Amino acid sequence: MGWDYLIKEAISESPTYVGGINVKVIGVGGGGCNSIHRLNTIGLNSELIAVNTDEVQLRNLDVPKKVIVGKDVTHGRGLGGNMNLGETVARSATEPLYRLVEGADIVFVLAALGGGTGGGVGPVIAELARETRALVVSIVTMPFKAEGPRRWQNAQTALERFRKVSNTVIVLDNNRLLELTPNIPVRKAFMVMDVLVGDIIKNVVETVNTPSFINIDYSDLTAVMRRGGTSTVLYGEGEYFSAEDAVIDTLNNPLMDVDYRGATGALIHITGGPNMTLRTVYRISEGITANIRDDAEVKIGARIDERYRNKIKVTTILTGVHTPFVAEQNLAEGSMGAETYLPMIL
């Protein structure tokens, strides 16, 4: 039932705001940039940047900061799925890309995997952000199976690259989205993902910034996310009869095929109305963490929100989970070009 709320929120595009610690959210490639565009329309108040090799796509976005890379190579027409070329053009532009990410406490890198830009340029941006000592959280989506094996293979390779350079990689699966929202148009379905991504970012930032019922400070956050590895998000929202109902609904909505038992960390965020008790918060948290590792790093944040008078919302990032998406084979590294292809701020 929780998904009904998320879908409604996505469709009504209600505004959400974050502020305080310095957060940059960078969308890379077609899917990543679309996410940034939609985050901008729903009003996510942090620095939003769209990076692409496709000039036409970039021009059509309503995003405050747009950056095109590899124009000399692609003539602004995208990479046609060539991830190694994506890496090459990004490495040739490390200085300006570094300037893009520097100065942030947290950098979120968003990419839809399967193509050349998100998968090729994205990990280089994550790597540069890591060099600035920011906490780097990449949020990636896996392509639809129907798009064919090449895209899927690309996505697995890209996921592995993201994993190597990010503190945490949150993996969402478009195929799950199809199961959860079979009857809404694809564009709206992507919007559901984007509202969820916005919610994750907002929760993470607000938990640290805003005095809450139960606070998580920046060092708590980094304790879970520094070595988060591959992660997933659980989401539940509803007028639950009991804490157990909230737990069942939340655990029912994984956006990735994961084995929870191996999880090494959990960042649980609970929002409820003025009547929400500490006992409810802890019972929900206990239920969610019941099957993860005993030594897992668990941080709980809770906030009272008047709009949740009879409702509870639970968003959980489970870190260090095992996923079947990570490719077994060693990765072929992209060759580095000697020329410099400077990105241009549009």
Binding site for ligand GTP (CB under 6 A): 29-31, 34-35, 53, 78-81, 112, 114-118, 141, 143-144, 147, 151, 174, 190, 193
**CB-based contact 135:306 (threshold 8 Å):** no
Q: In DSSP terms, which residues pair with 314 in a beta bridge?
A: 236, 270
Start-end of H helices in 147-277: 149-165, 174-180, 186-209, 218-225, 243-251
Residue type, 99: R
**CB-based contact 265:298 (threshold 8 Å):** yes
Q: How many residues bind Mg ion (CB under 5 A)?
A: 3
Name the binder of 80 from Mg ion, ligand GTP, none, CB < 5-8 A by kind. ligand GTP
Residue 169 structure tokens: 């990689």
Name the binder of 287 from ligand GTP, Mg ion, none, CB < 5-8 A by kind. none
User: Shortest gap between Cβ of 29 and Mg ion (angstroms)?
Assistant: 5
Q: Is 120 in the site for Mg ion (CB under 5 A)?
A: no
User: Shortest gap between Cβ of 32 and ligand GTP (angstroms)?
Assistant: 6
Name the binder of 70 from Mg ion, ligand GTP, none, CB < 5-8 A by kind. none
Name the binder of 144 from ligand GTP, Mg ion, none, CB < 5-8 A by kind. ligand GTP
Name the binder of 143 from Mg ion, ligand GTP, none, CB < 5-8 A by kind. ligand GTP
Q: State which of residues 2, 32, 76, 78 lies at the interface with Mg ion (CB under 5 A).
A: 78
187 or 307: CB nearest Mg ion: 187
Distance CA 173, CA 26 (A): 19
Name the binder of 34 from Mg ion, ligand GTP, none, CB < 5-8 A by kind. ligand GTP
Question: Could you tell me which stretch among 71-79, 131-139, 246-254, 291-299 binds Mg ion (CB under 5 A)?
Answer: 71-79
Residue type, 49: I
**CB-based contact 346:58 (threshold 8 Å):** yes
User: Shortest gap between Cβ of 26 and ligand GTP (angstroms)?
Assistant: 13
Q: Which residue has the CB atom at the shortest distance from Mg ion?
A: 30
Q: Is 64 helix (H, G, I), strand (E, B) or coil?
A: coil
Residue 307 structure tokens: 């709009």
User: Shortest gap between Cβ of 61 and Mg ion (angstroms)?
Assistant: 12
**How many Å separate Cα 316 from the centre of its chain?**
12
User: Shortest gap between Cβ of 36 and Mg ion (angstroms)?
Assistant: 13
Q: Is 54 in the site for Mg ion (CB under 5 A)?
A: yes
Start-end of H helices in 186-339: 186-209, 218-225, 243-251, 278-289
- H or E stretch covering 300: strand 297-304
Distance CA 235, CA 251 (A): 8
Encoded one letter per residue, x for contact with Mg ion by CB under 5 A and - for no contact, window 26-45 reads ----x---------------
Distance CA 27, CA 43 (A): 15
